[in-house]
Amino acid sequence: MKLLAEFEGVALVRRSAQVALGSSAHAVIVVTGHRRLEIEAALDGLGVECIENTKYDHGMATSLTTGISYCDARGANAVLVLLADMPGLTTAHLDRLLQLSARPTAKWWCVQWEMANPEIPLYFQNRYSRQSRVSKAM
C-alpha cells in the first residue's frame, strides 16, 4: 500500500502527518479507511486524531465528506485538506497556504499545479464553501 511505503525511511502517511503537525494548523485529523489499523499504527505516538471512513471503497469523496463533517460537528471554522502521498509537500507550503487564507476576502485557497485544475492541499474557510465543493465532487 502506497501510504505505508517509506520515503527517506518514514512511511508516507507518518511523514505527511509530521509535516501537518509542524505547521500552524490547530489540529491534525487523519481519515482512515483501507488498512485502517496499519495506518493508525504508522501514526502511533504523533498525537493526531484518526477517524474512520467506513465507506472508503466508494471513492475519495467519501473521505472528504467524512473529514469535513467531523470538523464541522466540532465547530471548526476552516479545514485544510491534504493527501498523505505527497512527499514533496513541506510545512512551509502549508504555512504559506494558511497565511494566504487568513485574508479577509478568502473563502478557499488551493495549490494549482496545472493551469486548469485546482488541487490539494486545499483550504476551506467556511461551511458553505466546504459542503458545496464536496457535494459537487460526489
Structural domains in the chain plus CATH codes: 2-137 (3.90.550.10)
Is it the case that residue 126 has pLDDT exceeding 70? Answer: no
Q: What are phi and psi of 30, to 5 degrees?
A: -110, 125
Per-residue pLDDT reduced to its tens digit, 62-93: 998 899 889 888 888 888 888 888 888 899 98
Contact call for residues 96 and 102 (beta carbons, < 8 A): no
Q: What is the pLDDT of the chain when averaged over all its residues?
A: 81
Q: Which whole number is the average pLDDT over 128-138?
A: 51
- The pLDDT assigned to 45 comes to 97
Instruction: Count the helix, strand and coil residues of the chain and give each as a percent rounded to the nearest 5.
Output: 45, 20, 35
- The beta-carbon contacts of 112-115 under 8 Å, at least 24 apart in sequence, are none
